[in-house]
Structure 1
Amino acid sequence: MLTEAERIARLRLARADRVGPVSFKQLLDRFGSAKRALDALPDMVRRGGSTGYALPDPARIDAELAAGEWRGATLIVLGDAAYPPALAAVDPPPPVLWALGDPALLSREAIAVVGARIASAGGQRIARGLSQGLGQAGFVVVSGMARGIDAAAHEGAIETGTVAVLGGGVDDIYPPEHADLHARLAERGCVVSESPMGARAQARDFPRRNRIISGLSRGVIVVEAELRSGSLITARLAGEQGRDVFAVPGSPLDPRSRGPNELLRQGAILCEGVDDVVRAFETLRYLGEPPSEPFDMGQDIDAALIERVAALLSPTPTPRDELARACGAPVSQVAAALLELSLAGRASLLAGGLASL
C-alpha cells in the first residue's frame, strides 16, 4: 500500500514538465518511488542536454489537492488499490485519475458505448436501449458525456452504473447543457479524468480521454459515427489495447453509418443487441495482454550513449529495439537514454516502445 507522502509525490511527478505516461512509468520502474524520481529529475534533465528545469511548486500540488477535496473528488494514483485493473493493463497507464462519484464503478467489468454528437433519434434510441440492457446484464457503461450517443448511453445506464470520462477536469461541465447530467452522474455514477481539477478541456485532451474510455472497458460499441470522428479513434485505440470492437450497422444512405459499417468491413463484431455482446464475451479472450516486464533501468547512462541515441532519432517513430541495434547497446540502456532525452525535451516517448524527435 502506498503511503500518503508517496501518493502526493506521484501526483507531483505526474504534473512535472515533460513527464508523460510513458516516462512516468519508466521513472517508477527505475527508481522504485516517485520521491526518488523527483530527486533525480534535475540531474537527468541536465544529462539529457537541457538546463533550467524546475519541478512543480508544492503549493500548486497543494492547491490541486484542496480543489479536489472541496469538490468531493477522489484522487487515484497508479499503484493505489483503487486504481482500475483494466486501465492498469494499458501500455502505458495514466499516472493519475480524479474521480467524482463512486470510484468502485471503475473496477467493475465495463463496456463503452460511443458515437456521433449529432446523432439521429433512432441512433440515440439504440444507444439508450443497449446501455440499459448492458446494465441489466451486469456491465458498467462507459462513455464521454458528449452530446448525442454518449448522453443517451449514460441515460440508459444511470440506474445500473455508468462512468463518464472527461477531457477537462472532473469539474469541467462540457457541453454546458449537460450540467444536470453531470450532477446525476456525480451522484449516482462516476465522472473521471486524468486532467487536473479546474482544467478546461482543449482539443488535445480528447484523444487522451478516448484512450481512457477504451482502457476502462472490455469492449467498445460504436453506434453512429462518420469516418473521421473521435468515436473511430476510440475504436482504433480499443483494438490497439486488445479490447473487442463492436459496431451497430446502419443505412448506407446516412453518413453517420459510414463509421460503424467500415468497422464491420475491418472485422468488428456485429452488434444488433445485448445478446451479441454477451455471446462474444463467452467465446472471446479476456481483455488485453498481461503487462510486459519493465526494463531494468536502475543505472546511470553515459553522455556519449545519450548523444548516439539522439543522433538516431527522427520525426518518424522508431522502435526502441531498432535504436538499440543501430547503436550496439542493450535495449535497457537505450530505454534509459531515451527517458533522459525525453525529460530534456529532445525526444518523445510513445506507446508501444516507440520514440521520435
Structure 2
Amino acid sequence: MPDSSARRIGIALTERQKIAWLRLIRSDNVGPATFRDLINHCGSAENALAMLPELSARGGSTRAIRIASASEAERELEIARRQNAQFIGIGEPDYPPALRQIEAAPPLVAAKGDLSTATRPSVGIVGSRNASIAGAKFAAAIARDCGRAGYAITSGLARGIDAAAHRASLDTGTIAVLAGGLDRPYPPENFSLLDEITAGSGLAVSEMPFGWEPRARDFPRRNRLISGISLGLVVVEAAERSGSLITARLAADFGRLVFAVPGSPLDPRCHGTNGLLKQGAIVTTGASDVLDALAPLSDLDRFQNTVIEEPGRGSTLLPPDDDDRTRIISALSPTPVDIDDIIRHTGVAAASVYLILLELDLAGRLHRHPGGMVSLAMED
C-alpha cells in the first residue's frame, strides 16, 4: 500500500508571481514548453513579460504580440475565488507530483476540491463512453479496490467507464480532469457527479481558462493530464481509434504503466484493449494486477520541482547574430526535427539555438511536436 499522506514539496508563488504566470501563459504563442523556456531564459515571468515584444520581433514577427493584461489575470483569479477554486503553479506544493515530469507540463492548473488528493499517488481509469454493464462494473471494482489501497482515481468525467470509476471512488478520493474550464464541465449529465466530487474528498482540475467551452481538440490535452497525473493507466473497453487509446499512448510515452482489460473479440468496444495487450500492456483481471505492478513506483518524492523562478537571474546571453539565425532557419523545414540535430547540423552553440527557436516560437513561426521536435511553420 502506498503512503497516501500528502507530500508538500515546493515553493508557493506570491500573488504577484501568480498574476505574472497567468498573464504569461495566456499571452499569444506561449504554450507550456515556451513558458518553461522563457522562465529559463528570463529568470521570472515578470522579466519574460517585459521581454516578449523584443523576442517576438527578433523572431521575425511583423505585428505586436498580444500580452495578457494584469486586469485580465486578476479577473480570472477572482472568478476562481468565486468558484471556490484556485490556480496551482508547477513548482507549488499542491501541484500533482507526477504531472511535473511530463513533457510540456502545464505551468498552471485550476483546481477545485480537496487539494490533498492531488498529491497522492494516482491510478488512471479510462474506457468506452458507451460502456457495457459488465465493463462499468469492472471499472468500478478496480477503482474501489485501488482507492481503498490509498490511490486517488483519475479520469476524464466522461459518461461510461469514466463516470463509473469516479462514482466508485467518491469516498476514497478521485480526480476529474476537464477539457474545458472548471465552470464548463462536459457532458451535462455529469454535472451533479462533478459537484459530488468537489464537495467531498475529490478534486477537479483543468489547464483551460474559466469560461472555456470544450472543443474536440481540447480532449487530447485533457488526456495528457490524465496520463501525466497517473502512475499507471487502466483501460477498460476501448474501441479502435478511441480517445482512450490516445490516453494509453501518452501514458506509455510518459513512462507510465499501461494496463488493459481483455474482452471478447466479438465486441468492438474491446478491440482497442485487446490490441493494447498485443502491444505489451499488462493483462488486468483484477485490482491486484494493478496494485502489485505499481507498488515499487508509488514513492512520489522522486518527482521534484521543475520550474523555479530566479527573478534576479535573467539571461546574460547576447542576442544571436543574424548569421546564426539564418543558419537555423535554413536548417528548419515543415518536417519535425530534433533540436540536438539542429545543433549538430549548424554548429551553432546550443544556448543560441534554444534562444533562436524561442524567438521563432513567439513570432508564430515555429511548431513544437512531441519528443522535443520542432518544425518551421508555413507562412500564410
Band of TM-score, shorter chain: over 0.9
Aligned CA distance change for structure 1 residues 117 and 85 (closer, same or farther; 3 Å): same
Q: In structure 2, give the amino acid aligned to 1:90.
A: I
d(CA) in 1 for partners of 2:29 and 2:329?
A: 17
Q: In structure 2, give the amino acid aligned to 1:29.
A: N
Instruction: Give the share of equivalent positions with the same residue, in percent.
Output: 46
d(CA) in 1 for partners of 2:88 and 2:303?
A: 21
Cα deviation digits, residues 40-70 of structure 1 (max 9, x gap): 1100000000132231122221221111111
Aligned CA distance change for structure 1 residues 80 and 285 (closer, same or farther; 3 Å): closer
Q: In structure 2, give the amino acid aligned to 1:207.
A: P
Among candidates 195, 217, 222, match of residue 235 of structure 2: 222
Question: Given that residues 122 and 154 in structure 2 are in contact (C-alpha distance below 8 angstroms), is that contact kept between their aligned partners in structure 1?
Answer: yes
Q: CA deviation at 1:22?
A: 0.6
Among candidates 314, 318, 321, match of residue 337 of structure 2: 318
Among candidates 113, 124, 149, match of residue 112 of structure 1: 124
The match for 2:8 is: none
The match for 1:155 is: 167
Q: In structure 2, give the amino acid aligned to 1:346.
A: R
Cα deviation digits, residues 180-209 of structure 1 (max 9, x gap): 101101111111000011111011111110
Among candidates 252, 274, 279, match of residue 287 of structure 2: 274
d(CA) in 2 for partners of 1:267 and 1:351?
A: 22
Q: CA deviation at 1:298?
A: 5.0
Question: Given that residues 124 and 234 in structure 2 are in contact (C-alpha distance below 8 angstroms), is that contact kept between their aligned partners in structure 1?
Answer: yes
Normalised by the size of structure 2, how large is the TM-score? 0.89
Question: Given that residues 20 and 70 in structure 2 are in contact (C-alpha distance below 8 angstroms), is that contact kept between their aligned partners in structure 1?
Answer: no
Q: In structure 2, give the amino acid aligned to 1:147.
A: R
Cα deviation digits, residues 283-335 of structure 1 (max 9, x gap): 569789978999x9752322332232122222221100111112111222211
Q: CA deviation at 1:344?
A: 0.3
The match for 2:249 is: 236
Matched position secondary structure for 1:204? helix
Among candidates 127, 139, 147, match of residue 127 of structure 1: 139
d(CA) in 2 for partners of 1:222 and 1:288?
A: 26
The match for 1:334 is: 353
Among candidates 268, 272, 275, match of residue 262 of structure 1: 275
- Are residues 1:208 and 2:227 paired? no
Q: In structure 1, give the amino acid aligned to 2:134.
A: G
Matches within 5 A, 1:20-35: 20-35=31-46
Question: Given that residues 74 and 103 in structure 1 are in contact (C-alpha distance below 8 angstroms), is that contact kept between their aligned partners in structure 2?
Answer: no
Q: Extract unaligned runs of 5+ from structure 2.
A: 1-10, 308-313
d(CA) in 1 for partners of 2:112 and 2:131?
A: 27
Normalised by the size of structure 1, how large is the TM-score? 0.95
Q: CA deviation at 1:112?
A: 0.2
Cα deviation digits, residues 3-47 of structure 1 (max 9, x gap): 221111011111110001111011111111100011111000000
Comparing 331-340 and 257-266, the one that deviates more: 331-340
Aligned CA distance change for structure 1 residues 56 and 282 (closer, same or farther; 3 Å): closer
The match for 2:310 is: none
Q: Extract unaligned runs of 5+ from structure 1.
A: none
Q: In structure 2, give the amino acid aligned to 1:106.
A: A
Q: CA deviation at 1:148?
A: 0.5
Question: Given that residues 110 and 207 in structure 2 are in contact (C-alpha distance below 8 angstroms), is that contact kept between their aligned partners in structure 1?
Answer: yes
Q: CA deviation at 1:267?
A: 0.5
The match for 2:180 is: 168
d(CA) in 2 for partners of 1:256 and 1:23?
A: 38
The match for 1:44 is: 55
Aligned CA distance change for structure 1 residues 287 and 310 (closer, same or farther; 3 Å): farther
d(CA) in 1 for partners of 2:298 and 2:87?
A: 31
Aligned CA distance change for structure 1 residues 132 and 293 (closer, same or farther; 3 Å): closer
d(CA) in 1 for partners of 2:131 and 2:66?
A: 46
**Displaced runs of 4 or more, over 4 A:** 283-294
Matches within 5 A, 1:74-113: 74-113=86-125
Cα deviation digits, residues 183-241 of structure 1 (max 9, x gap): 10111111100001111101111111000001001000000111101100000000111
Question: Given that residues 143 and 153 in structure 2 are in contact (C-alpha distance below 8 angstroms), is that contact kept between their aligned partners in structure 1?
Answer: yes
Count of aligned positions: 356
Aligned CA distance change for structure 1 residues 298 and 209 (closer, same or farther; 3 Å): farther
